Amino acid sequence: MKNIQVYALGSPNGIKIPIALEEMGLTYDIHTVDILKGDQFAEEFRKINPNGKIPAVIDPSGPGGKPISIMESGAILLYLAEKSGKLLPQDSATRCEAIQWLFFQAANIGPMFGAFGHFHTYGKENCNHPYPEARFEKETVRLLKILDDKLQGQNYIIANKYSIVDISIFPWVMWLDMFYKASEQLELESFKNITAWVCRCNERPATMRGFDVYGFNDIGK
């Protein structure tokens, strides 16, 4: 086993890893973890990620040439960036800024967008009270405003260069429209900087190849 082994699914968090690997030019093998069938709870997978979530990776050529398992999409992106020397600023201050925004995604955008998407799209059969969706919609819009302001006058989030920060965030924005079908409700088109940025990310050939891993051939069209 020489390639990086990726255990994921075509979700906002799962798709980040093949995108990053394609952009970095690292070779990998994909293993689909079907969360609808409970694959994430299998003992074999739990050895890779004790939390039973996707994505997770095994790098057979980790530190010291030894295999290493990594869980959590932000940690995986950071590891891959350091391994490849790509998509992460080398300047200490700018690198610190990038890591802050990785944490911003992990602590805010992922949980809030995901919770909104759940109650908006999937949770109505079990909860017909308007409060949960309204609560997470308000927070989602707040976070979109922060992101839109950050992108003012910039092509990408950090130092005007495509990085693992962009990769960590823009799939979540796309899911608001593609799968949650909430573009109109959230008035996504009003966030002009975000709209242009998502299109910019999707125009990158390597990023498109990452999406193709899960059959999203018409992504961004």
Q: What structural domains and CATH numbers belong to the chain?
A: 4-84 (3.40.30.10), 92-203 (1.20.1050.10)
Average pLDDT over residues 147-153: 98
Q: What are phi and psi of 72, to 5 degrees?
A: 75, 120
| Of 49, 45, 47, residue with least CA distance to 73 | 49
CA distance 210 to 213: 6
Is 23 within 8 Å of 80 (Cβ atoms)? no
Cβ neighbours, 10 Å, residue 35 = 15
pLDDT of residue 221: 43
Q: What is the pLDDT of residues 52-71, one digit of tens each?
A: 999 999 999 999 999 999 99
Cis peptide before 55 (omega within 30 of 0): yes
* β-sheet bridge partners, residue 68: 59
pLDDT band of 167, cuts 50, 70, 90:
very high
